[in-house]
Amino acid sequence: MVKYWRSLDELKDPVAFKKNELKLEVDTKRELFKKESASSRRDFLKTFGFSVAAAAVVASCKKPIDKAIPYLIKPEEVTPGMANYYASTYFDANEYCSVLVKVRDGRPIKIEGNNLSSVSQQGTTARVQASVLNLYDDARFKTPLKQRSATAWEEVDAEIVQKLAELKAENRKVVLLTSTIISPSTKKVIGEFLKEYPNAEWLQYDAVSATGILKANQASFGKAFLPDYHFEKAKVIVSFGADFLGTWLSPVEYTKAYTAGRRVLEASDEMNRHYQFETGMTVTGSNADVRFPVKPSEEAVIIADLYNQLLSAKGMAPVSGQKSSVDLSGLVEDLIENEGESLVVSGSNDENVQIIVNAINNLLGNYGSAISLKKTLNTRQGLDDEFESFLSELNSGNVSGVLCWGVNPVYNHPKGETIKTALENIFLSVSFADRKDETTVACQFVCPEPHYLEAWNDAEPKSGVYSLAQPTIPKLFDSRQPQESLARWSGTESPDFYTFLKNNWENEIFAQQDEFANTQMFWNDALQKGVFESEQEISQNISYSENGLENALSAIQPASTGWEIAFYENMGMVNGSFANNPWLQELPDPIAKISWDNFAAVPVKWAEENGVANESVITVNGVELPVFVQPGQAPDTISVALGYGRLVAGKVGEGVGKNMFAQTVVENGAKKFWLTGAEVVKTEKSYKLALSQTHHSMEGRPIVRETTYDEWKIDPASGNEKHEEVEDHHVTLYPEPEFKGHHWGMAVDLSSCIGCGNCTISCQAENNIQVIGKEQVRNRRIMHWIRVDRYFSNDAENPEVYHQPVMCQHCDNAPCENVCPVSATPHSEEGLNQMAYNRCVGTKYCVNNCPYRVRRFNWFQYINNDEFDYASNSELGRMVLNPDVTVRSRGVVEKCSFCVQRIQEKKAQAKVDGRPIEDGEIQPACVQSCPGNALVFGDLNNPESKISKLFKNERNYHLLEELHTLPSVGYLTKVRNKKA
């Protein structure tokens, strides 16, 4: 049997690991009786008897008394207690999603994916889910600012218009510096602004750009564009450092497509094979069938060598170039066997590397199949060389005005301090932003931008694919859309952006369809659906050429021999724009399971040889970083996440981790996210990390089960023999539980779960789960109802990785239920393991008796407690809370409820409609938001339901099923398509 391990300590000494795993010194007086109470244990015992009796009488959880003001005149579309859903669009300059916004009593409280979108297809990411919390952030700007002091819009407008007029009259350059804009209407507003001010230029800047791909396609196709990748059409996928399931280009879309090609349920199902070359362990690499840990400088050499070997395999003469030390024979064979049905991508920002990747895809016939040139991706359009030219002009005094919109170059550019000084001394500097950051404090004027849930907008993420964004709540503060500001400053008589947006759709986009006869019907339909996709053929008139290929091959340098540092985007923080979001700060890293910090991921072998362990401190080019010994880290390399070390972000984000953007360099006109010749020095210091990976262990049990695709084709139950053994010995003296109505259950396909953690944040938003902070995470008190366990197997130098979501298993023979002295955790008639919060007196017997460790105890009173003054506990932040879910108080146990509030809502609706509940109609938050469709929920009593069929599938098993807990959650074995 394969040995699985969660950490290196467990791999090396499992006995000692188990002994020390639960050792924790608890200051009980501080924890239990903090602030509000000075009661002793004796006082507790005196009142315990009364508590037991009173528990059956109390009607609900105690809540602070709030005064509410009802509607004087109720809006027609608002029914108290009923949610409204509005289609909108999320785009943060990096990531796009068409979304549905759940609004209760005028408050947006939850984000869901829009299943009508061909791009996001109902999927979201953790960042999209957490974006609703940003709406209620106290750190948002309340009014316009002038020299950091509050002022009125009239004063701001007057002074800015005056300065713009002076610059125009003197023909001095003004630069409108934005992040990537994918809104066609906004582009037109910018065009009108540039017409009014011919001395102005528009420049797009991305903190993590795709300059390499854009430049390479300019050379290979004569046009700078991002291709439309179709991972679902590829039987062989090869990725060089592209974390396409995590943060690269369009991760939701790619996850949907990737997992669609790996879902094997029927004998006829095929499975793609995924090769990953990368430095540090990423989400994408952890899901690969074959993974190669390589240094960043090796990637270019391997790509060039792969091109030559493919040429030779096709009987063509190879070109001169570097040879790699990696055995590529199996990969070459796979690619040749699947010509026209493969896909090769690279995350490199080097134009030469991307040119060679283009040549490989052309050689394999991938253009027109897995890579479409009919539509192009419109995100990440910023070119680093253009920004460098702007910096040169800025520093030389040739730029007199800068309008910053959605960018923070003072933080995320290696020359940030130079940019800050220039902005502080320039004639005109303006920032459009919704909250303070390092760039806004350097600008003379701050024009508050509304949150995307307060604003009108549109988007064209791909050519011919459109979506709309609409406000779901009146603006909370005195903010104004930048489009309206630009229109006002341009002298437009009617600067209202809604009117401009609607007119643009009626005049430009309406003509791309023939379904509706008039513009108003078209507008209403598009607004209701949130998306419109043109059926018109979009001809790019581009074809491949080998222009630049010879120079690209000759430019490839041998791999270096010293230390190399790789920088990557964390799935929560990405480029740092979400630093003040506590949900994402507390979300554990998918691989390291660390929250509230970035860290130096170092190779296992080097750590052992140098006496370095987790929480040691090393310096990397002079920057002190805590160590995490990362299985699978390439030798002589260190990986560090970007997006941390914010100095101006808000009380949550400031001072968390170190800023590594300052360590990046711009080389050959493009940002380079790895360094050679790095100086790494061991120190004697230590630093406490908030690791969640030691909260629980597998105890040597077959919790994760796996097989290979070849073995599965021979025997669909391969790797799951234990399940058959348990079923054969299933004997009980007691009658089996019967559920006459519904019996709810969930299935988790481990082959489709990528470990992104989106389900965790979606559950947190739906169920009002508290943030507890770094110290309490270290104390193993993280409150998430659904955790995503990560296991390793095989060699620590290059292990295989497994992700497993674990929530309450809703056991039909639940060990937690019969130990509760006050019947606070009963079993429902529909198979749900329930929690009666009003009865719970906090004995934690159920927590101790749960073999799955999924119950959470509230150690603190979070409201009005300075230690937990996070967004959802402030006066403003509490607006995000879901009124359908009780906010738990101190001393109460909580856990996953299968989103029972959603079950009850759909049951009630079906009853009103006089119909049965349809299969798939009820979706808990985790199921609805999963980008990989790894989770399925339904009625086990319905033999035709998808969940019933999955439970009968040969791959299905249950966690710790030998304990006879009879879980209502099933898992499908992990299948990898390894090459025989």
Select from 770, 777, 780, 764 the least CA-distant residue to 860: 770
Contact between 136 and 167 under an 8 Å Cβ cutoff? The reply is: no
Contact between 335 and 342 under an 8 Å Cβ cutoff? The reply is: yes
Amino acid at 805: P
Q: What digits encode the pLDDT tens for the residues 315-364?
A: 998 887 778 999 999 999 999 999 999 999 999 999 999 999 999 999 99
Higher pLDDT, 52 or 251: 251
The class that CATH gives domain 145-209+382-529 is: alpha beta
Measured distance CA(636)–CA(630) in Å, rounded: 12
Measured distance CA(980)–CA(977) in Å, rounded: 9
- What is the pLDDT at residue 735? 80
What percent of the chain stands above pLDDT 90? Answer: 81
Query: Can you state the angle between helices 497-504 and 184-196, rounded to 10 degrees?
Result: 110
pLDDT band at 899 (very low <50, low <70, confident <90, very high): very high
Q: What digits encode the pLDDT tens for the residues 68-93?
A: 444 445 566 667 778 899 999 999 98
Inform me whether the pLDDT recorded for 211 exceeds 90: yes
Contact between 795 and 7 under an 8 Å Cβ cutoff? The reply is: no
- What is the pLDDT at residue 48? 46
Contact between 664 and 672 under an 8 Å Cβ cutoff? The reply is: yes
Select from 387, 299, 386, 344 the least CA-distant residue to 673: 299
When mean pLDDT is compared over 373-382, 723-732, 865-874, the highest value belongs to 373-382
Hunting for tokens 């690269």 — which residue is that?
A: 248
- What is the pLDDT at residue 143? 97
What percent of the chain stands above pLDDT 70? Answer: 91
- What is the pLDDT at residue 37? 47
Burial tier of 429 (Cβ tally within 10 Å: 0-12, 13-18, 19+): buried
- Tell me if 4-26+695-976 shares its fold with 560-691: no
Listed range (214-228, 716-730, 922-936) with the worst mean pLDDT: 716-730
Strand, helix or coil at 819? helix
- What is the pLDDT at residue 17? 60
Inform me whether the pLDDT recorded for 58 exceeds 60: no
Average pLDDT over residues 454-469: 96
- Mean pLDDT score across all residues of the chain: 90
- What is the pLDDT at residue 723? 77
pLDDT band at 537 (very low <50, low <70, confident <90, very high): low
Hey, where are the domains in the chain?
4-26+695-976, 145-209+382-529, 560-691
- What is the pLDDT at residue 865? 85
> Cα-flanking dihedrals φ and ψ of residue 672, to 5°?
-115, 125
pLDDT band at 3 (very low <50, low <70, confident <90, very high): low
- What is the pLDDT at residue 495? 80
CATH architecture, domain 4-26+695-976: 2-Layer Sandwich (3.30)
End-to-end alpha-carbon separation of the chain, Å? 19
- What is the pLDDT at residue 275? 98
Hunting for tokens 């991760």 — which residue is that?
A: 251
Instruction: Give ∠ CA 572-760-778 in degrees, rounded to 5.
Output: 75
Strand, helix or coil at 923? coil
- What is the pLDDT at residue 698? 59
pLDDT band at 404 (very low <50, low <70, confident <90, very high): very high
- What is the pLDDT at residue 66? 40
Select from 456, 538, 547 the least CA-distant residue to 505: 456
- What is the pLDDT at residue 156? 97
**Mode of pairing for the β-strands spanning 445-448 and 145-146:** antiparallel
pLDDT band at 670 (very low <50, low <70, confident <90, very high): very high
> Cα-flanking dihedrals φ and ψ of residue 669, to 5°?
80, 15
pLDDT band at 771 (very low <50, low <70, confident <90, very high): very high
Strand, helix or coil at 34? coil
Average pLDDT over residues 507-522: 92
Inform me whether the pLDDT recorded for 181 exceeds 80: yes
Residues 6+ apart with CB under 8 A from 318: 308, 309, 311, 312
pTM score of the predicted model: 0.91
Burial tier of 443 (Cβ tally within 10 Å: 0-12, 13-18, 19+): buried
Instruction: For residue 605, give the DSSP letter.
Output: H
Instruction: For residue 901, give the DSSP letter.
Output: H
Between the CA atoms of 148, 151, 154 and 160, what dihedral angle is there, to the nearest 10 degrees? -10
Q: What digits encode the pLDDT tens for the residues 827-843?
A: 999 999 999 999 999 99
- What is the pLDDT at residue 72? 47
- What is the pLDDT at residue 146? 96
Inform me whether the pLDDT recorded for 715 exceeds 60: yes
CATH code reported for the domain at 560-691: 2.40.40.20
- What is the pLDDT at residue 12? 67
pLDDT band at 7 (very low <50, low <70, confident <90, very high): low
- What is the pLDDT at residue 725? 79
According to the 3-state scheme, what is the secondary structure of 641-690? EECCCCCCCCCCCCCCCCCCHHHCEEECCEEECEEECCCEEEEEEECCCE
Contact between 332 and 536 under an 8 Å Cβ cutoff? The reply is: no
Measured distance CA(579)–CA(515) in Å, rounded: 44
- What is the pLDDT at residue 864? 82
